[in-house]
Homo-oligomer: A and B are copies of this chain.
Amino acid sequence: MLTIGEFAQMTHLSVRTLRRYHEAGLLEPARVDPSSGYRYYDAAQIPTAQVISKLRELDVPLADVRQILLTQDPAARATLVTEHLQRLEDQLARTQAAVASLHRLLRPGPAGVAVELRQVPAQLVATVEDTVAHTDVLAWYAGAMAELDAVVRETVGPPGGLYDNALFTRGRGHVSVHVPIAAPVPAVGRVRSTELPGAELAVAVHAGVHDTIDVTYGELGRWVADHTLAVAGPVRETYLLGPRDTPVAAHWRTEIGWPVFRVTGAG
C-alpha cells in the first residue's frame, strides 16, 4: 500500500493530478480509508497510471481515457487507441497546412489573387448534402463524392461543393457536394437531383494543394469588401482540376465563388 505521495513519486504524476483522476473515475485508489479519506494505492496500479499519463500526453480527453481503460478486450482497446492516433495524424496534417499558410501570409508583398465578378446561370446538379463538423469535411467529402460517382453516369462539368459559413465560424455547418448534369438522375442513397440557383459570384482561382487556400479566401474577401459588395449565401468551390485529374498537386485548380450582391447603402 502506497500513500498518494509515494504513488505520485513512482508514476511521475502530481498528487493533485492523481486526486483528479480518482474524482474522474480514471484511477480508483486500491483503498480509501473511510474515516480519514486518505487514498492508498497498490504498486500494481503503476502501469495503469502510466497508460493514463501517456494518453494525456497525446491530449486524449479524460473521458476518452476512461473509455479506453474500461475496455477490457485488447483488440477493442487497440481500436480506440488507433482512432486517437489517427486523430493525431490529422492534426499533424492540419498543422503543416497552417505552417504553409503562415509562410505565404508573412511573405512580404500582396498575394496577388485575381478576382472577377461573374454571373452564373442556374444549373441542374446531382448532389449529396449533410451537416458535418469542420474536422470531418474531408472524410465526408470523399464518401459523398464516391456515392455521386456510383450513381451519376454523365456529368457536364467539374464537381463542386457548397460550404455554409457556419462550418467555419461555428465548426459545424451545412455542406453539399455536386456534379453538374444534363438530365435528372434517379434518387439513389443520398444522391438527389436539384437546381443550383444562379447567382452573381466573386470568383478567384486557387492553385495547388489546399494547404494555403485560406490565403486565397482572404484575398477574395478583401476584394469583395473593397468593391462594396456583401456576401449572400454559402461559398461555392469548383474543382476545375483535382487529384482525380492529375497527380501533380501543383497543377490543381480550385475555383472559389462567393455569392455577392451590391450594397445599396453607404459607399
Q: Residues of A at under 8 Å CB distance from B?
A: 1-2, 6, 8-15, 42-44, 46-47, 49-51, 53-55, 57-58, 74, 77-78, 81, 85, 88, 92, 94-95, 98-99, 101-102, 105-106, 108, 165, 168-170, 214-215, 217-219, 221-226, 230-231, 266
Q: How far is the CB of A123 from chain B (nearest CB, A)?
A: 24
Contact B57 A94 (CB under 8 A): yes
Contact B10 A50 (CB under 8 A): no
Checking B44, B78, B106, B221 against A78 with a beta-carbon cut-off of 8 angstroms, the contacting residue is B106
Contact A218 B10 (CB under 8 A): yes
Contact B57 A85 (CB under 8 A): no
| Given contact pairs A81-B102, A102-B58, A169-B15, A230 touches B6 in the complex (Cβ within 8 A) | yes
Contact A221 B58 (CB under 8 A): no
Task: Quickly give the copy total for this chain.
Answer: 2
Query: Cα distance A122–B10 when bound, in Å?
Result: 24
Q: Chain B residues with Cβ under 8 A from A266's Cβ?
A: 1
Contact A99 B85 (CB under 8 A): yes
Q: How far is the CB of A216 from chain B (nearest CB, A)?
A: 11
Q: Chain B residues with Cβ under 8 A from A98's Cβ?
A: 54, 57-58
Nearest B residue to A1 via CB reads B266
Q: Chain B residues with Cβ under 8 A from A231's Cβ?
A: 6, 9-10
Nearest B residue to A17 via CB reads B169
